[in-house]
Structure 1
Amino acid sequence: MPLRDRTARRRIAGRSTAMVAGVAVAFITGLATAPMTYASPSDPGALRWAPCGDLEEPGAECGTLSVPVDWGRPDGPRLDLAVARRKAADPGARVGSMVFGPGGPGDSGVEMVTDRISRFSPEVRRRFDIVSFDPRGVGRSNPVACSDDLLAERPSPELKTQADFDATVAYNARLRADCRARTGPVFDHLDTAQTVRDVDALRAALGERKLTFHGSSYGTLLGAQYAETYPHRVRAMLLESVMDHSVPTARDFLRSEAATAEDSFREFVRWCEAAEDCALHGRDVRAVWQDLLARAGRGELEDPAEPRTPLSSSDLVNKIAFRKFYGVDYAGLATAIAGMAASEPLPASPTSPAPLHPATPVFCSDWHLPVHDYRQYASLVSMMNVTAPDLPYLLPIHMTAACLGSPTANPQHRLDARGAPPILVSNALHDPATGYPWAVSVARQLGRSGVLLTYEGHGHGSVTNGSCMEDAVAGYLTDLVVPPRGTSCPAVPF
């Protein structure tokens, strides 16, 4: 067994995971689970394909890949990973398979292939079989199951006292126990280090000697750790909208997340001041927004999606503003704000944040963000409010509260991917969730292997934003042509 395989096995053996957080839109919206047809392999490591069912755009194939629940015990219980692919549009120019690492955590890679294949550029679709999967604990790959009633009871992250803090820790323990009992053995083996081994099993089952990989958002953590574990098995790797798993403390993590989200709010305000078609043009956008936050805090703001239902200030920030920042829908956000500002106030009433998605144990198993007591927690909240005064109670503070008391299987560390080939690290300058400084940091940690590609625009995800980005990415993935260091691509108008 190669040294890195032995090291990975030692590192994985005996780990346990935990509960529960939320970092991306998937945690608010949940995952679609439309029925699909899968072919079951006859033996571990095999992949047999059959047409996926119920697709608006036919042509995708689905299958399952059998992998160990715990890679530290490869002869122990197994689980089936749901996998999907679309074959290269030009078989004569086919390079091979490209595996996509989905984000979230909690996003379905199967649905990316079956329903959102336009996420990839025409040239990449022409040259590669696009393959992805539902990571363990997600979608159709032994999803985490928890009591809906218990999920709905989660405490607000707006803790006011030490008693609130203690109650949250106790609730998290009850929820972990419930989810573990309902999910089964995989619940304790959901961390990204385990998924790295799943990806290598998928590479082998696809018949690829080396991996071509595109990871987005949370999938960049998966890609980076794959390169660290198997540097000589990487053919090409694109990390887009990059998470920095070396951020050492809860304070550092929360400050980074608050700063990048506030940057997107400032960019929205600046756009609205200049754009005559902004629904708030000529008004004090911040004042209008702060008034909405105050109304939401009193339970007087109606949820646009649920008439007569009050919208909490947390959901105003995360469901309304943050979601629009992802796709740079500034016009849509301005229209939504203007509509809410003109609405009649509801009678004041208590509000509660939306339940978090049950796939969130993955986050808690990958991030060690300890907070020892209410005083420290309140200090973190205060720091975030100073850093992001327009966006109180962002999702990362929900994560921190939801992970209180949870063990961590795969804690943060600096990357060591010596021996890996060039890895393309791509990020927008104004990304609301994974800030540009994280991409710079990851590229530096990769050393000679790290090549930073900068998109000078906005949004979460950028590799198909204009011909400059598409050409740089396609040239790298298909022909291994590495962009010159320091390459930047201009922003595309939105």
Structure 2
Amino acid sequence: MSPTRGRSALPRIAARGTAMVAGAAVAVVTGLAAAPAVQASPPASEILRWAPCGDPAKPGAECAALSVPVDWAHPDGPRLDLAVARRKATDPGARVASMVFGPGGPGDSGVERVVSGIGRFSPEVRRRFDVVSFDPRGVGGSNPVTCSGDLLAQRPSPQLRSQADFDATMAYNRRLRADCRARTGPVFDHLDTAQTVRDLDALRAALGERKLTFHGSSYGTLLGAQYAETYPRRVRAMVLESVMDHSVATTRDFLRSEAATAQDSFEEFVKWCAGAQDCALHGRDVRAVWQGLLARAGRGELEDPAKPGTALSSPDLVNKIAFRKFYQADHAGLAAAIAGLDGSKPLPASPTSIAQLPSATPLFCSDWHLPVRDYEEYASLVAMMNTAAPDLPHLLPIQMTTACLGAPTANPQHRLDAHAAPPILVSSALHDPATGYPWAVSVARQLGRSGVLLTYEGHGHGSVTRGPCMEDAVNAYLTDLAVPPRGTSCPAVPRT
């Protein structure tokens, strides 16, 4: 999602029944004011008025708007419209229910996922369920967070080198929060997952479902888990895939776990290349080649393959080149990319640009309390991450933590309490680069007797369609509520 530059119009808060707000969320570095406890239950009378989404190149999807309160603690106050989309079950006679997909990110557009196609689900799921998703508040068509393009361009380097840098980042974050709040409107202070849980229940009611069938992926698992905690008896079935563990209490523990799972994916890549004749780096010291690229990127001498003539920064080499391939479990593609970069002609040393953060940083800041006291503590955290992930410096989680410095957190971390919920399927790859397998084990344990862990013995971010074993287990659970035996593990399918 690209940032919107220089947008100054104040997005309106939609009245009930008006058209959904359009526009793209922008890359922001911010956080949210603490909100009062959210107590209200969504009304069951909201009606979704479906119409074709309007993209003739991608027919079959229907769109609607769902009116919800800006702040569920004050349900009679201002409202906003959430953008919603669905694709109906391909076999209406065999339809089970609506299944709501919780998008990841944070900041992914669920509407875009549905409109573009829902290939992430098996044919059996698409046959038996209306697949529904939405843009979470502050994202896409749901009153997107909007900030000054000029101010965004002034973002300090995320790599802090002194207490002065730390203080400058804190001051910048305060200025940006104030700007984004003024341009976005009242919803800016109510973007956290606890509010979105109430939105999800309002969507369930508007769909006419007595109980919710839900599939959450990555950041969407936080929404699913907290829904099960808030409304355990309103859950029919729930799949949590590539799981966020919101019980990780401290900044150090959060960053250590993220660094460890990222390094695990790098180690798996090195091991694969040593044994794969078709690896573009086979027979070479993969780690030495990679460290050479990091050094060239640090000097501004590595050309960005997507932007000829411009330098690729070290953070972008790690987060955009390596991590994207880890997400896809595309080891062959990563080896080819590294070989191409290694053989490229060095650029004259030049400054590299500051990478943009994900488009919904304020949503992350509202859910994660990750305080850092001062530069000394920051430097200690960076050193710890570099020890845990020596091949992957500048990982995105430390940048996100820096982006949230000084931001209040409306929905801070806590252990789950959803023991009254029915069985919930927790799905994870053993080698997930972003949401590590230990997080899935932890969440399944927190769910107690409700948590059923399904393990994919392979790689990548996402697992439910990785081979017939995974698909069959998920299909049987969603359609027939047949829970796989505890401890079920599925073999890795051949990867590239």
Any conservation in 1 of the 2:430–2:458 contact (CA below 8 Å)? Answer: yes
Matches within 5 A, 1:66-215: 66-215=67-216
Aligned residue for 2:338? 337
Instruction: Provide the secondary structure at the position in 1 that maps to 2:418.
Output: coil
Any conservation in 2 of the 1:41–1:48 contact (CA below 8 Å)? Answer: no
Q: Could you tell which deviates more after superposition, 269-278 or 474-483? A: 269-278
**Counterpart Cα distance in 2 of 1:198 and 1:218:** 16
1:285 to 2:286 alignment: yes
Any conservation in 2 of the 1:216–1:239 contact (CA below 8 Å)? Answer: yes
Superposition deviation, residue 489 in structure 1: 0.5
1:301 to 2:302 alignment: yes
Superposition deviation, residue 111 in structure 1: 1.1
Aligned residue for 1:7? none
Matches within 5 A, 1:467-482: 467-482=468-483
1:410 to 2:411 alignment: yes
Aligned residue for 1:20? none
Q: Deviations over 1:227-285 (max 9, x none)?
A: 00000000000000000000000000000000000000111111111111111111111
Any conservation in 2 of the 1:30–1:357 contact (CA below 8 Å)? Answer: no
**Counterpart Cα distance in 1 of 2:166 and 2:373:** 9
**Counterpart Cα distance in 2 of 1:281 and 1:151:** 42
In the alignment, structure 1 segments of 5+ residues that lack a partner are 1-25, 32-39
Letter paired with 1:134? D
**Counterpart Cα distance in 1 of 2:138 and 2:328:** 27
Letter paired with 2:136? P
Matches within 5 A, 1:192-271: 192-271=193-272
1:52 to 2:49 alignment: no
**Counterpart Cα distance in 1 of 2:56 and 2:183:** 30
**Counterpart Cα distance in 1 of 2:482 and 2:56:** 35
Any conservation in 2 of the 1:145–1:358 contact (CA below 8 Å)? Answer: no
Q: Deviations over 1:51-105 (max 9, x none)?
A: 1111433111000000000001100000000000011111111001000000000
Aligned residue for 2:386? 385
**Counterpart Cα distance in 1 of 2:262 and 2:357:** 20
Aligned residue for 1:367? 368
1:445 to 2:446 alignment: yes
Instruction: Provide the secondary structure at the position in 2 that maps to 1:414.
Output: coil
Superposition deviation, residue 353 in structure 1: 2.5
TM-score, normalised to structure 2, is: 0.91
Instruction: Provide the secondary structure at the position in 2 that maps to 1:400.
Output: helix
Any conservation in 2 of the 1:220–1:241 contact (CA below 8 Å)? Answer: yes
**Counterpart Cα distance in 1 of 2:420 and 2:273:** 47
Q: Could you tell which deviates more after superposition, 401-410 or 50-59? A: 50-59
1:276 to 2:273 alignment: no
Q: Deviations over 1:123-177 (max 9, x none)?
A: 0000000000000000110011112222222222211100000000011111111
Letter paired with 1:306? K
Letter paired with 1:246? S
**Counterpart Cα distance in 2 of 1:418 and 1:304:** 50
Aligned residue for 2:63? 62
Letter paired with 1:166? D
Letter paired with 2:171? A
**Counterpart Cα distance in 2 of 1:363 and 1:143:** 14
Aligned residue for 1:18? none
Aligned residue for 2:31? none
**Counterpart Cα distance in 1 of 2:171 and 2:279:** 46
**Counterpart Cα distance in 1 of 2:337 and 2:370:** 34
**Counterpart Cα distance in 2 of 1:416 and 1:287:** 46
Any conservation in 2 of the 1:55–1:115 contact (CA below 8 Å)? Answer: no
**Counterpart Cα distance in 2 of 1:288 and 1:88:** 49
**Counterpart Cα distance in 1 of 2:424 and 2:56:** 34
Any conservation in 2 of the 1:56–1:115 contact (CA below 8 Å)? Answer: no
Any conservation in 2 of the 1:327–1:460 contact (CA below 8 Å)? Answer: yes
Letter paired with 1:493? P
**Counterpart Cα distance in 2 of 1:150 and 1:340:** 33
**Counterpart Cα distance in 1 of 2:260 and 2:128:** 38
Q: Deviations over 1:182-216 (max 9, x none)?
A: 11110000000000000000000000000000000
Instruction: Provide the secondary structure at the position in 2 that maps to 1:382.
Output: helix
Q: Deviations over 1:337-378 (max 9, x none)?
A: 111111111111122331223421000000000000000000
Q: Could you tell which deviates more after superposition, 325-334 or 60-69? A: 325-334
Q: Could you tell which deviates more after superposition, 218-227 or 43-52? A: 43-52
Instruction: Provide the secondary structure at the position in 1 that maps to 2:242.
Output: strand
Q: Deviations over 1:314-352 (max 9, x none)?
A: 110001101111011111111111111111111111223
In the alignment, structure 2 segments of 5+ residues that lack a partner are 5-15, 19-42
Superposition deviation, residue 30 in structure 1: 6.1
Any conservation in 1 of the 2:146–2:180 contact (CA below 8 Å)? Answer: yes
Instruction: Provide the secondary structure at the position in 2 that maps to 1:242.
Output: coil
Instruction: Provide the secondary structure at the position in 2 that maps to 1:399.
Output: helix
Change (3 A) 1:429 1:98: same
Any conservation in 1 of the 2:216–2:239 contact (CA below 8 Å)? Answer: yes
Any conservation in 2 of the 1:41–1:47 contact (CA below 8 Å)? Answer: no
Aligned residue for 2:461? 460
Superposition deviation, residue 41 in structure 1: 3.8
**Counterpart Cα distance in 2 of 1:446 and 1:104:** 23
Instruction: Provide the secondary structure at the position in 2 that maps to 1:357.
Output: coil
**Counterpart Cα distance in 1 of 2:53 and 2:75:** 29
Aligned residue for 1:435? 436
Change (3 A) 1:198 1:179: same
Instruction: Provide the secondary structure at the position in 1 that maps to 2:152.
Output: helix
Letter paired with 2:212? L
Q: Deviations over 1:382-411 (max 9, x none)?
A: 000000000001000001100000000000
Identity across matched positions, percent: 82
Change (3 A) 1:112 1:47: same
Any conservation in 1 of the 2:357–2:400 contact (CA below 8 Å)? Answer: no
**Counterpart Cα distance in 2 of 1:79 and 1:345:** 51
Q: Deviations over 1:400-439 (max 9, x none)?
A: 1000000000000000002100000000000000000000
